[in-house]
Amino acid sequence: MQARSRRFKANAAAALANPVLQANLRTSKGKFVDKRATAILELDDFEGTREAARQVRDHVLKDLDLWLERFETTATARGASVLWAKDGAEICRHVADIARRHSVKKVVKSKSMLSEEAGLNQALEAAGIQPVETDLGEYILQINDNEPPSHIIAPVVHKSLDEVADLFERAHKKPRKTDIAELTREAREALRGHFLSADMGISGGNFLIAETGSVALVTNEGNGRMVTTLPRVHVVITGVEKVVPTLDDLSMLMRLLPRSATGQSISNYVSLLTGVKQRDEADGPEHLYFILVDNGRADLVGSEFQDMLRCIRCGACMNHCPVYQTIGGHAYGWVYPGPMGSVLTPLYLGIDQAIDLPQAATLCDQCGVVCPVKIPLPGLLRRLREKQMEKRLRPLMERVALKAWAWVAARPRLYDLATRIGVRYLAWLAGGRDRIGVLAAAPEWTLGRDFPAPEGRTFRELYRQRSATVAK
């Protein structure tokens, strides 16, 4: 996907000024956040479960190469082919090769964020193959001129019912519907034929199970099952970090993933797929391919950012993020938005490609406390800020101001003098009022709010005057 992460500020400004997006963000926040809170109560011991999940994920990352080899062995033993892709371009090459080999003309896709990373749909079209998105949200985006998703679980969280109704009327050339169930039925009918006539299905993979060589797909709509049951070829595209050791680990993670994502106790369908159609079976693919993808992941192993690889793509972090809640996902400019996107985008695309993302956070930790695998997101964001400092990627004025503050703060007498002058100046700016309307020194503050005036004297000078006991 073409990255627009360098235009974060412009994107965010547009998002703040978009009334439809703002209305949608307000309603969706309540739904995801409140439902999750209720669902978590069903677990007797949420904190214990997330600690167990963290341990499972760390256990795998510690020996990731061996777990991948184990998966490759067990999957191959069941008739699957395991391919490896260094980057998005290689994903596209593999898929095109497979399609050619099997004379594929049409592909039906269930959700794969990696295919977004790789720009797979464009590559398929360029090779003369028709890709059809079947996840309702992804389908809506596809027929809207391949608009990018704004959330990893709910790709059209930014769209209103009216927008979808208009879109369907244009695309399907049927009378406009306004009832959500009717729109869904219309999408079902539009896609049904594609499921039945597609030569190849492409899916992501929520987890790869090393014990059995299986892929687990966590879905609600049934399109995941359609895409992996009906066509003759099935391709799974997923990141190398997605492997888990056993089926019991999957069971434990399944207590956290749906609850953290949408507030469901369980997703409608959990499909565990192993190998190809048996000789005497009526359904299932004849050919199964796994494409295990690096695209930046391998380099995080053993690094100070390794914790990010624990991610199980639930979306809880963005749902709870005050910044995401006000600007939505498109502003982040790439495949992954919110806190996890602010960590992954600079790591996968290059720190200089996403300077603002780690900075655009209050470090409130609303994300960290809900992450089902305890990724220390604020700490990782801060570490990215440190890297920007080290590489001198911050604006000069900002670096100077910070150094000046720290330098002065280390020198109490100088600090005393500077701050006494500073607060008197600010109080003068307020001109006798209790607030300052335009603060030239920090204009972004006063764009959207007033700056309350200081009292005009520092505490330390007043305290000195009152002659209290002073140490040293």
Partner 1 sequence: MRVGLFVTCLVDLMRPRIGFATLRLLEAAGCEVVIPAGQTCCGQPAFSAGDRVAAAALAKKVIAEFEGFDYVVVPSGSCADQIRNEYAGLLAAESAWQARAQALSPRVFELTDFLTRVAQVEQLPGTFRGSITYHDSCGGLRHLGIKQQPRQLLARLPGVELREMVGAEDCCGFGGAFSIKFGAISAAIAERKCDKAAATGADAIVGGDLGCLLNIEGKLRRLGDETTRVLHVAEVLAGDC
Partner 2 sequence: MDSRQDILGRIRQRLGRTVDHQTTLAAAHPTLTSPPRPTIVGDLRQRFVDQSLAQSTTVDSVTDWQQVPDAVARYLSASGLAKQVVGWPLLAGHAWSAAGIEFDGRGARDGDTVGITGCYCAIAETGTLMVLSGPETPATVSLLPETHVAIVAASRVVAGMEEAWQLVRGERAELPRAVNFISGPSRTGDIEQTIVLGAHGPYRVHVVLVSAA
The answer to whether residue 471 forms part of the interface with partner 1 (CB under 8 A) is yes
The answer to whether residue 276 forms part of the interface with partner 2 (CB under 8 A) is yes
Cβ distance to partner 1 smaller for residue 201 or 328: 328
Cβ distance to partner 1 smaller for residue 193 or 452: 452
Cβ distance to partner 2 smaller for residue 210 or 355: 210
The label of the residue with tokens 């704004």 reads: 150
CB of 319 to partner 1, least distance (A): 13
- 235-254 residues in contact with partner 2 (CB under 8 A) are 240, 245-248, 250-252, 254
The answer to whether residue 31 forms part of the interface with partner 1 (CB under 8 A) is no
**292: β partners:** 84, 238
Number of chain positions touching partner 2 (CB under 8 A): 103
Identify the H or E element spanning 53.
Answer: helix 46-62
Choice from 222, 351, 365, 376 touching partner 1 (CB under 8 A): 365
Give the closest residue to 225 by CA, choosing from 105, 98, 134, 106: 134
Residue 301 binding partner per list partner 2, partner 1, none, with a CB distance cut-off of 5 to 8 Å that depends on partner kind = partner 2
Residue 362 binding partner per list partner 2, partner 1, none, with a CB distance cut-off of 5 to 8 Å that depends on partner kind = partner 1
Choice from 229, 359, 446, 458 touching partner 2 (CB under 8 A): 229
∠ CA 429-432-434, rounded to 5°: 85
The answer to whether residue 449 forms part of the interface with partner 1 (CB under 8 A) is yes
Contacts of 456 (CB under 8 A, 6+ apart): 423, 424, 426, 427
The label of the residue with tokens 């000069």 reads: 396
CB of 245 to partner 2, least distance (A): 5
- 5-24 residues in contact with partner 1 (CB under 8 A) are 9, 12-13, 16
CB of 450 to partner 1, least distance (A): 4
Name the DSSP class of 393. -
In b/e form, how buried is each residue of 440-472, taking b as 16+ CB within 10 angstroms? eeeeeebeeeebebbeeebeeeeeeeeeeeeee
Q: Which parts of 17-60 are beta strand (E)?
A: none
CB of 271 to partner 2, least distance (A): 5
Choice from 402, 417, 421, 438 touching partner 1 (CB under 8 A): 402
Choice from 69, 125, 352, 398 touching partner 2 (CB under 8 A): 69
Cβ distance to partner 1 smaller for residue 119 or 376: 376
Choice from 18, 22, 55, 359 touching partner 2 (CB under 8 A): 55
Q: Are 348 and 3 in contact (CB under 8 A)?
A: no
Give the integer Cα–Cα distance in Å for 37 and 265: 11
The answer to whether residue 406 forms part of the interface with partner 1 (CB under 8 A) is yes
Give the integer Cα–Cα distance in Å for 35 and 306: 30
Cβ distance to partner 2 smaller for residue 302 or 322: 302
CB of 89 to partner 2, least distance (A): 11
Q: Which stretch binds partner 1 (CB under 8 A): 164-172, 215-223, 289-297, 320-328?
A: 320-328
Q: Are 263 and 36 in contact (CB under 8 A)?
A: yes
CB of 260 to partner 1, least distance (A): 17
Residues found in the chain? 472
> β-pairing, 200-203 with 130-133?
unpaired
Cβ distance to partner 2 smaller for residue 275 or 329: 275
Q: Which stretch binds partner 1 (CB under 8 A): 84-92, 140-148, 269-277, 449-457?
A: 449-457
Long-range Cβ pairs for the range 279-287 (8 Å, 24+): 283/229, 283/230, 284/229, 285/201, 285/228, 285/229, 285/231, 285/232, 285/233, 285/234, 286/232, 286/233, 287/81, 287/98, 287/102, 287/232, 287/233, 287/234
The answer to whether residue 444 forms part of the interface with partner 1 (CB under 8 A) is yes
CB of 379 to partner 2, least distance (A): 20
Sheet with 106-109: list strands edge to edge.
80-85, 287-293, 233-239, 200-203, 106-109, 130-133
Chain residues binding partner 1 by CB under 8 A are 9, 12-13, 16, 322-323, 325-327, 356, 359-366, 368-369, 382-389, 394, 398, 402-403, 405-410, 412, 415, 419, 422-423, 435, 442-452, 454-455, 457-460, 462-464, 468-472
